[in-house]
Structure 1
Amino acid sequence: MTGKPNDPSSHQGEHIVAQEGAQLDFSRSMSYGDYLQLGAILNAQKPLSPDHNEMLFIIQHQTSELWMKLMLHELAAAIAAVASDELGTAFKMLARVSRIMEQLVHAWDVLATMTPPEYSAIRPYLGQSSGFQSAQYRCIEFALGNKNAAMLKPHAHRPELLAQVKQAYESPSLYDVSLQLLARRGLALPPSHLQRDWTQPYATSDEVEAAWLVVYRNPREHWDLYQLGEELADLEDAFRLWRFRHVTTVERIIGFKRGTGGTGGVSYLRKMLDVVLFPEIWRLRTQL
């Protein structure tokens, strides 16, 4: 039963309702939607086809780009931290990057619900747009050491994007700064791998492997470097899964058709599975 008009509990209830009503008024302060700019984000999906499934395709790729933005944010900070010998900070960031990659792996499960006929209905509306044109993805590849000058060309028509990708292309990778750190700690590394043309693909070195072996055979003496090696292994492991899931999802949806951007599609993606980012980290395991 409700309280009587003069019942104190009745007045208290009215006060609570009025107070809650005031708290729900965000006209004078920042709301959840304001802070996250949800108006812009939730209105950024503009399907070009009449097909129902295009919304899935758009949101899949837009959310992936958001995760990649965070990944680049963390990678840049991790590279700077390793270069400054702040490994505790770097480990936290690298672990986060690996978890982001796991999130992206699971995102392919959602896109895999799109069947070949459903994709065929929207494909004519995609023009020459393709995932390999993603500037952020290219920056991730470059930051992890997979340098390829040809991958600058897809961004030549957008000067601001080209500048962003080119900076990543010309900068030392995560592995480059990790090797410099090993050298600063007194481990023997070849000069060719410490100061070089950062735009060139990384070349595997027996001397680099020997340096990492010193770390892995004496983990207590080189504990933070040992942990760095394992963070790199975790990162590449997660990246391989991301690439592999990409290949299987594309093959499931389009088979062996050529990609919309002109690549070989699945054949191109399968070649990427053979790329090893931190080769000595994997090779040394045979020697232990």
Structure 2
Amino acid sequence: MSETERIVAEEGAQLDFSRDMSYGDYLHLDEILNAQQPLSQSHDELLFIVQHQTSELWMKLLLHELEAAIDCVRRDELSPAFKMLARVTRIMEQLVSAWTVLSTMTPPEYSAMRPYLANSSGFQSAQYRCIEFALGNKNAAMLKPHAHKPDLYARVETAWRSPSIYDETLKLMARRGLNVPASHLERDWTQPYQADAGVEAAWLEVYRDPEHHWELYQLGEKLTDLEDAFRLWRFRHVTTVERIIGLKRGTGGTGGVSYLRKMLEVVLFPEIWQLRTDL
């Protein structure tokens, strides 16, 4: 018996999984590790596939946490919402890091596999669209890429029609006695959020007396953390794309870098950022 085998035996580790569930069984690793099916002969296509598949897994968890946080805010249960939103921010940091790995792909390496992508693009990610909608960046046109799959379309449409995390936050502030304009408490949730001086005034009241409004103050900072991380994700996205394809059009038909740069201008929680100037 080798030294390693002796140590394993002494520790009592289980080695026979002919009848019991193993690590691989629990995680369905056979299915996951066989889900990478490169279409080209390019060595680098596996990197491209794995980066996007793992990002989709992180987005699945992000949505799980974000949707639960929205529900907690709706029910005035802020303590668990804070934990969930903190986790969402950490997940976003993982998504930011993923671009660093993809940035090792050079333009010639991407060009070798690009024809095999056809019109497929991350722009068409249903999970990403649900995240955008849950954060308040509503756009009806973004439903169309999912029309060919009724189940996905229904999920994205539900996110589009539902109040965002910021909408639910404003309703919570009103329930806590702050003077939030009625126009921002009952509106068409499918429309993009519009900044309002009355909403900023309500946030200023919170930030000028954080001890009295401690939970709302903390919620404002959690949302700031989240948008901060999301901005970094968007920035790393556009930088990585420009590094790899320059100013070429994206495979999904967008302008590529030009489209992504426009997304950098979107502010999700505008009054929370503006109040920092006006405090």
Task: State whether TM-score is above 0.5.
Answer: yes
Q: Structure 1: 5+ residue runs without aligned partners?
A: 1-13
TM-score relative to the length of structure 2: 0.96
Which AA in structure 2 matches 1:158? Answer: K
Per-residue CA distance 1:193-233 (angstroms, 9 max, x = gap):
00111000101000000000000000000001000000000
CA separation in 2, counterparts of 1:20 and 1:206? 65
Which AA in structure 2 matches 1:35? Answer: Y
Quote how far apart the aligned CAs of 1:149 are: 0.3
Which AA in structure 1 matches 2:168? Answer: V
Counterparts in 2 of 1:20 and 1:212: CA distance versus 1, 3 Å: closer
List structure 1 runs of 4+ shifted beyond 4 angstroms.
14-22
Quote how far apart the aligned CAs of 1:28 are: 1.2
Q: Structure 2: 5+ residue runs without aligned partners?
A: none
CA separation in 1, counterparts of 2:10 and 2:215? 53
Residue 111 (structure 1) aligned to one of 89, 102, 109: 102
Correspondence for 2:175 = 184
Which AA in structure 2 matches 1:51? Answer: S
Residue 75 (structure 1) aligned to one of 50, 54, 66: 66
The question of 1:85 aligning with 2:76 is answered: yes
Correspondence for 1:254 = 245
Residue 210 (structure 2) aligned to one of 204, 213, 219: 219
Correspondence for 2:148 = 157
Residue 34 (structure 2) aligned to one of 36, 40, 43: 43
Identity of aligned residues (%): 78
- Equivalent pairs, count: 275
The question of 1:95 aligning with 2:72 is answered: no
CA separation in 2, counterparts of 1:206 and 1:92? 30
Correspondence for 2:187 = 196
CA separation in 2, counterparts of 1:217 and 1:67? 36
The question of 1:134 aligning with 2:125 is answered: yes
TM-score relative to the length of structure 1: 0.93
CA separation in 2, counterparts of 1:19 and 1:109? 42
Correspondence for 2:47 = 56
CA separation in 1, counterparts of 2:182 and 2:158? 23
Which AA in structure 2 matches 1:146? Answer: N
Quote how far apart the aligned CAs of 1:19 are: 7.8
Correspondence for 2:112 = 121
Quote how far apart the aligned CAs of 1:134 are: 0.2
Coordinate RMSD, CA, aligned:
1.5
Corresponding residue SS for 2:108 = helix
Which AA in structure 2 matches 1:256? Answer: L
Which AA in structure 1 matches 2:235? Answer: F
Correspondence for 2:268 = 277
Which AA in structure 2 matches 1:68? Answer: M
Counterparts in 2 of 1:82 and 1:19: CA distance versus 1, 3 Å: same
